Amino acid sequence: MNVSVKNVTKCFTAKGTPAVFDASFTATSGGITTLLGPSGSGKTTLLRIIAGLEVADQGQVLFDDRDVTRVPVRSRGIGFVFQAFALFNHMTVRRNAFGRQADSFESDITLTGPAQGGIAGPPLRAVFIRAPWVDAAGPGVQILGTDSGTGRIVAVRQGPVLATAFHPELTQDGRLHQLFVDIVRENQ
C-alpha cells in the first residue's frame, strides 16, 4: 500500500505556529521512508495524522488512491508504533534518565545481540537525546545493546518489537536499521 500525504497542515491553536505546514510526500509500498527533522518539527504529529489519531486542518492522507483524511482510526487498518517502552511488559524503564534534551550526548554502545541478527561487531557510536534506559529486562526481552561507559541497557527486542534509548537514525552505522528491516520481513 502506498501512503501519500498531500499539503497537510495542522495547527493546535488558532493563531499559533503550525505543528505541520504544507507537508507532502509518498511512502511507496515495499519501500522504507524516514521522516527526519529536529525536535518539534512535526514528525510525530504527521505520523499521528496518518494513523488517524489527529485530524489535519488542511490537506489529504491517501492509502493508495483512497482518501482516508476523515476516516476514523479504527477503520484505517494500519498500525502505529508509539515512542515509548510501554509495549514491553517484562521491563522496567526510567524515562529521561540521562537528563534533559540540553544534556544530549554521544556514547559508544556495545552490541550484544546475536551474530545471526547481523549486529554483533565493533561498538556503535550512538546519539542520546532525552534518553531513557532500561533498569531491568525480564523473560522474553532480548538485550541487544548496552552503553559502554555505564553498562546500562539501551537496546532491546521482544518478539517483533525493537526499542532503543538512542537515535539510530542519527548514525552512519546500518546494523540496527538492517535488523529493523529483517524484523519487518520476518513478520509480513
* pLDDT value of position 46: 93
In the chain, residues under CATH classification 3.40.50.300 are: 3-75
Q: Which CATH architecture has domain 3-75?
A: 3-Layer(aba) Sandwich (3.40)
* pLDDT value of position 61: 97
Pick the CATH number of 91-186 from 3.40.50.880, 3.30.70.890, 3.40.50.620, 3.30.70.100: 3.40.50.880
pTM: 0.53
The DSSP secondary structure of 55-111, one letter per residue, reads --SEEEEEETTEE-TTS-GGGT------SSSTT-TTEEEETTTT--GGG-EEEEEEE
Average pLDDT value for the chain: 81
The mean pLDDT value for 153-174 works out to 83
